[in-house]
Each structure stands twice: as structure tokens, then as C-alpha cells.
Amino acid sequence: MQFCAQDLVSREFVLKSTSLLSGERAALAAEVLRRSGRLRLQVHGESMLPTIWPRAVVEILSCSVGDVKRGEIVLAIRDGRLFLHRFMVRSRDGFVLQGDSMPGPDPIFQDEACIGKLVNGSVAPAYKTFPFAIVYHAIGRLVCYCGPVRRTALNLYQRWEKWRIPQGGVKPTVYLEA
């Protein structure tokens, strides 16, 4: 997924940099999260559909892998890239994440790769309750395997977002392309 950081350190300090490489921006965002404890990101990927939509702003709370429960959405870093995916399982070698609309899990992450978990944002609210979790999982699989459904859903969402957000809305300050 791709991200853009909005409030990197505090209300007083906003970092503006488009010259940094994506790996440097990801490392910077991870460092800010470790120091401040919180980070707001704008998501640009599709791997967490239908739970998290492109351009949703999410808030991440710093945590270690020991603080995460199965099913929570975790921010991890590897090879200069940020991953915001669902926590699946922890093993002696590390932990496994998987995007809701991805056909398979990500490769195993080392424990220190976990830098935070989702605490707030434009996330579908019902994904944790039993009947809705099954529906969201089914929709995620449909979006994953059926291109026309994915394109239609993204097109409808883009139209809805243009109607919902007025022109000239808040623009992110730092883009993290992972």
C-alpha cells in the first residue's frame, strides 16, 4: 500500500519533503511513529479493500508485535516499504500479515518490523463483529479475484468521494510510496 504522512511529529511541526526516496520516507515515518507514539497516514493502495479504501486517513499507534491480537490491522516495515495489513498469526520466526483483498499472506516479517497498529481512521466499522466479518471477508475475496468488480467498486467510491469532499480539501504533506 502507499501512504502519505500528514502530521509527522506534532501540531507545531509539519515536514514537507518530496525529494526523499520512498525508502527514506518510510524510515522517517517509522522513526516519527516510534518517537511520538502516533502517526496519521493516508492510504493509497487497494490491498485492504473493502475495509480500508484508497485515500482513507488512518491513525497508527506505536506498538510491538506482542501488543497485537489476531485480526487487528498492523503497520509493518520491510525493505523500505510500509505494509498496513491484517495480523494473521505469530510464529517463532516472526509474524504473518495479509491484505483483506489479497489472495495469500505476505512473507513472514521479523518481530521488530511491527511498528504500530490501526487505532482510528476511515475504516469500515463492522469488520470485527461476527456476521459482518464473514461478509467483509467474502467481499474482499470477490474484489481480489474479480477485476471488473474491483474497478466498479473503486469507480463508485471515487465518485462518492468527489461528492463528499469539497474541491481543494486538505492535501497531504509527505507522500510515502511503498
CB 70 within 8 A of CB 51: no
Instruction: Cell numbers for 49, please give them.
Output: 479493500
Burial 124-138 (b: 16+ CB within 10 A, else e): beebeeeeeeeebee
Q: How many domains does the chain have?
A: 1
| Cα–Cα distance for residue pair 43/169, rounded to 1 Å | 16
* CATH code for the domain in which residue 28 is found: 2.10.109.10
DSSP 46: S
Q: What is the pLDDT of residues 32-84, one digit of tens each?
A: 999 999 998 888 888 888 888 888 888 999 999 999 999 899 999 999 999 99
pLDDT of residue 33: 92
Range(s) of the domain holding residue 166: 3-176
- Per DSSP, 109 falls in state B
pLDDT tens digit string along 80-137? Answer: 999 999 999 999 999 999 998 888 999 999 999 999 999 876 565 545 555 666 777 7
Q: How many CB atoms lie within 10 A of CB 13?
A: 10
CB contact set of 111 (below 8 Å; sequence gap of 6+): 64, 65, 94, 95
The answer to whether 121 and 55 have CB atoms below 8 angstroms apart is no
DSSP code for 172: P
